[in-house]
Amino acid sequence: MAKKGNRVQVILECTEHKASGKPGTSRYITTKNKKNTPDRMELKKFNSILNKMTVHKEIK
């Protein structure tokens, strides 16, 4: 029987969007290696609603 892989799919959600009061959400789907990055990911990605680069954090 094959082992499960170390890579898992994660969802990144914008942290600045909730404070802006605008409707909608900015989310990205990506993969990460559980062994190399056991903590939650935090990346700067483009938010098309706010039209700027914002911090996106991993959600459960």
Q: Within 13 Å, how many C-alpha atoms sit on residue 31's CB side?
A: 5
CB 27 within 8 Å of CB 46: no
Amino acid code (one letter) for 7: R
CA dist., res. 30 & res. 22, Å (int): 24
**Element spanning 18, H or E:** helix 17-20
What does the block give as tokens for 45? 């990605």
Give residue-wise pLDDT tens across range 5-49. Answer: 899 999 999 999 888 888 888 999 999 999 999 999 999 999 999
Q: pTM (2 decimals)? A: 0.81
Q: What is the CATH number of domain 7-59?
A: 2.20.28.120
Tell me the per-residue pLDDT of 40-56, one tens digit each, with 9 for 90 and over. 999 999 999 999 999 99
Segments making up each domain of the chain, as ranges: 7-59
